[in-house]
Structure 1
Amino acid sequence: MPDDSAPRPSEEAVEEAILTVASLPGAAKTVTPEDVARSVAAGPDWQSLLPSVRRGALRLAQAGRLVLYRKGKPVDPSDLRGVYRLGLPPEG
């Protein structure tokens, strides 16, 4: 049973987790929202963070700090639908 008394991470903490997980050494070119949620939440409550991860990913992508991918191709944040992955922008 999830612990409803556990504090929810702030939107800023979720955004920081997105950038941290995406930049981990050995990380694949892209990561899933689930990877990020699991890094923030302990135990089975990670799924409840997925909406926060999506909002944070959209904000970061709109700011140019993150790239959203769908079917392996970059997608405009305003057109994001369905399954997606997260990646850092190419350097240079």
Structure 2
Amino acid sequence: MSDPIETAIFEKLSRIDPKGDNGKSIEPSDVAKDLQPEQWQRMLPKVRAVALGLMRQGKLTITKKGKAIDPNAMKGVVRLRLPTAEEAAAAKAALPPVTDEDDGDFA
């Protein structure tokens, strides 16, 4: 986890929900404000993009009005929280399978 935005998201979540089982959430703007207090509006699209990537990996859930949203329909005011076991499993199942066919040879 070397990405500073990713680190900031998980640090903020761990502060409000240390065990990760209460379903508490944060706003992407809070993360942006932590990272760049003076120009947080410029940071917000980057935070949302990282959150979207984390959701697709099953590491984060993006919610709207308390319900998980489709990552392709992310618009408006959203919140970030740690995923339930079911949400993480569904996200990982949706990822394309990794194969051993690509051995790096370019013929």
Match of 1:62 in 2: 56
Whether the aligned pair in 1 keeps the contact of 2:59 and 2:83 (CA below 8 Å) is yes
CA RMSD of aligned residues (A): 2.2
Instruction: Using the TM superposition, give the Cα deviation of residue 25 of structure 1 relative to its aligned residue in structure 2, in angstroms.
Output: 4.1
CA 1:20–1:84 in structure 2 vs 1: closer, same or farther (change >3 Å)?
same
Q: Which segments of structure 1 move beyond 3 Å, counting only runs of 4 or more? A: 25-28
Q: How many residues align?
A: 81
Higher relative contact order (CA 8 A, sep 6+): 1
Identity %: 38
TM-score, normalization by structure 1: 0.76
Q: How far does residue 32 in structure 1 lie from its aligned partner after superposition?
A: 0.2
Tell me whether 1:17 sits opposite 2:11 in the alignment: no
Aligned partner of 1:37 among 18, 27, 32: 32
Structure 1 regions of 5+ residues with no counterpart?
A: 1-10
Q: Distance in 2 between matches of 1:72 and 1:25?
A: 16
| 2:83 equivalent to 1:89 | yes
Q: Offset at 1:78?
A: 1.5
